[in-house]
Chain A
Amino acid sequence: MASGSVADQEGQVMLLGFWFSPFVKRVEWAFKFKGIEYDYVEEDLTNKSTLLLTSNPIHKKVPVLIHNGNPIAESLVIIEYIDETWKQNPILPQDPYDRAMARFWANFIEEKVSEPAREALFSEGEQQEKKVKELKEGMEVVEGEAKAKLNDKTLFFGGGHGVGYVDIVLGWTCNWMETIEEVGGFKVLDPESQPQFHKWMTNFREVPFVKPTLEPKEKLVEFFRMVRKDRLGLVANK
């Protein structure tokens, strides 16, 4: 299933992924939210398939969606494609201004939360301190937005429609952030200064199509501990 050319996959919905990847999980949540069936192909980080390398020659990364033989890479690009191709249960709002706000916050999350978190996970010392600070600042803004938009009636950033684009983009934090903290050896989650965000995480974890997909923390910690060790080992040791 993992071999073969892109052209062989006519009429299929296929997702290439890693079990441990938050970006892959996002795409799965988008599919599950819309009730779309897809073939999932587990890739090997140390031995990427020909299909992956030919479908995403530029970045050679997952997730990659292959739909009717056409490959699409980059999780946010894939999610928008899914939303435009399968119209049931819209992920993005209909109104152009609301869509712009959703895209703005998705970009913010990527730049100021996802990216610094990833960099903090794979760095140490001064470099890590810098990234942890950036991450904390990003979380502060997210808490502010959660305070502004969420309440007892509106549990998600998708507003009256329930889960939406921003929730799916931010969703990785509800499972991976604790892992990153433990493996990286720092703390950014604080229920006291981030009460609205913590409420949102609790609610998101319980979403019926999210709950069964969440990997156990011990499994994630063990895996990322190994990856962090490898990555830091590539840099000169003290």
Chain B
Amino acid sequence: MAEEEVKLFGTWASPFSRRIEVALKLKGVQYEYIEENLTNKSPALLNYNPVHKQIPVLVHNGKPVAESFVIMEYVDETWKHNPILPTDPYEKAMARFWAKYIDEKLWPAAKKVVVTKGEEQKGVINEIQQQMKNLEGELKEKTFFGGESIGFVDIAANIIIWLVVAQEALGMDQILDEEKLPILHGWLQRLLDDAVFKECVPPKERHLDFSKVKFGSSIASK
């Protein structure tokens, strides 16, 4: 049997490297985790991802893969059990569409909402509410976006947790409100209850402190 070497370079507070942890754990892949210090990146990281110099990077038998969705697709194609993408090409296309939507629309808005104030912030909040409604339209009555089990879009949507924690840290009203967004709210609770997924979120207290430090100062200085 060939020796399999899998390494994941990440940081504890990055939703993007946490996504890869979920994918690997769902498939029971053994891996070595390397915690990077982004203010002092290791020579290994710079060597494995010279283009972006960013985490996450997955290194499989010495070969590096970067960019979280690219890595997730690679993991799914390499370890075929417990698939995270559907097999049907149309369903697969839908999953890729919504994952892209999350990264290209929801994530930038989430980053913006915690560093804006007043009217500008209100505008971004409305944007996010609409985006979350769109996601509810995709989720409908399913347990997860992936159906009965966690899939590609559920993993991509982990960034919602980062938004929720940041809002809590700043004492903001939660955009993901049970009354306004009951479907997505219910989904989030199920996601956080999932045995594998819950191992792949930053410890709450530490994450709150981290968010307070990261976003609190930018609000105070405005």
B73-110: which residues lie under 8 A (CB-CB) from chain A?
Answer: 73-74, 77-78, 89-90, 92-94, 96-97, 100-101
Residue of B nearest to A58 (CB): B134
Q: Which residue of B lies closest to A73 (CB)?
A: B97
Q: Contacting A104 at CB < 8 Å: which of B67, B77, B89, B134?
A: B67
**Contact of A74 with B100 in the complex, beta carbons under 8 Å:** yes
Chain B residues, CB < 8 A from A76: 96, 100
Please pick, from B63, B92, B96, B101, the residue contacting A97 in the complex, using a CB distance under 8 A: B63
B2 at the binding interface (Cβ < 8 Å):
no
Chain A's nearest CB lies how many Å from the CB of B69? 8
Q: How far is the CA of A141 from the CA of B52 in the complex (A)?
A: 11
Docked CA distance A81–B51 (Å):
27
| CB-based contact B74/A97 at 8 Å | yes
* Contact among A70, A73, A74, A100 for B65, CB-based, below 8 A: A100
Report how far A97 CA is from B78 CA in the complex, Å.
9
- Classify chain B's interface size: 20 to 34
Number of chain A residues whose Cβ lies closer than 8 Å to a Cβ of chain B: 22
User: Judging by beta carbons under 8 Å apart, are B97 and A74 in contact?
Assistant: yes
**CB-based contact B77/A80 at 8 Å:** no
Complex CA–CA separation, A81 to B94 (angstroms): 10
**B74 engages A72 (CB within 8 Å):** no
Docked-complex contact B97 and A103, CB < 8 angstroms:
no
Q: Hey, which chain A residues are within 8 Å of B78, CB to CB?
A: 96
Is residue B45 within 8 Å, beta carbon to beta carbon, of the partner chain?
no
A106 CB, min distance to chain B CBs, angstroms: 9
Contact of B96 among A58, A70, A77, A104 (CB under 8 A): A77
**Could you tell me if B67 and A70 are in contact, using CB atoms closer than 8 angstroms?**
no
* A80 with B93: CB separation less than 8 A: yes
Across the A-B interface, the 7 shortest Cβ-Cβ residue pairs: A96-B77, A84-B89, A100-B74, A81-B93, A103-B70, A100-B65, A77-B96
A52 on interface, CB distance cutoff 8 Å: no
Q: Give the secondary structure class of A's interface.
A: helix
Known: A84-B92, A97-B74. 18 other contacts (CB 8 A): A58-B101, A70-B90, A72-B97, A73-B97, A74-B97, A78-B93, A80-B92, A80-B96, A81-B89, A96-B78, A97-B65, A100-B71, A103-B67, A103-B73, A104-B65, A107-B67, A107-B69, A108-B51
- Chain B residues with Cβ under 8 A from A58's Cβ? 101, 134
**Is A100 touching B92 in the complex (CB atoms < 8 A)?**
no
Known: A97-B74, A100-B73, A100-B74. A81 touches B90 (CB 8 A): yes
A214–B89 alpha-carbon span in the complex (Å): 30
Bound-complex Cα distance A84 to B71 (A): 19
B78, B93, B94: most-surrounded residue (chain A CB, <10 A): B93
Residue B132 lies at the interface, judged by CB distance under 8 Å to chain A = no
B66 at the binding interface (Cβ < 8 Å): yes
Assembly CA distance A126 to B63 (angstroms):
40
Q: Does A99 contact B (CB under 8 A)?
A: yes
What are the residues of chain B within 8 A of A108 when measuring CB–CB? 51
Given the complex, which residues of A lie within 8 Å of B92, measured CB to CB? Answer: 80-81, 84
Question: Which residues of chain A in 49-91 are interfacial with respect to chain B, using CB atoms and an 8 Å cutoff?
Answer: 58, 67, 70, 72-74, 76-78, 80-81, 84-85
Residues of chain A within 8 A (CB-CB) of B67 are 103-104, 107
Interfacial chain A residues near B97, Cβ < 8 Å: 72-74, 77
Tell me the bound Cα distance from A77 to B97 in angstroms: 6
Residue in A77, A103, A141 whose beta carbon sits within 8 Å of that of B51 in the complex: A141
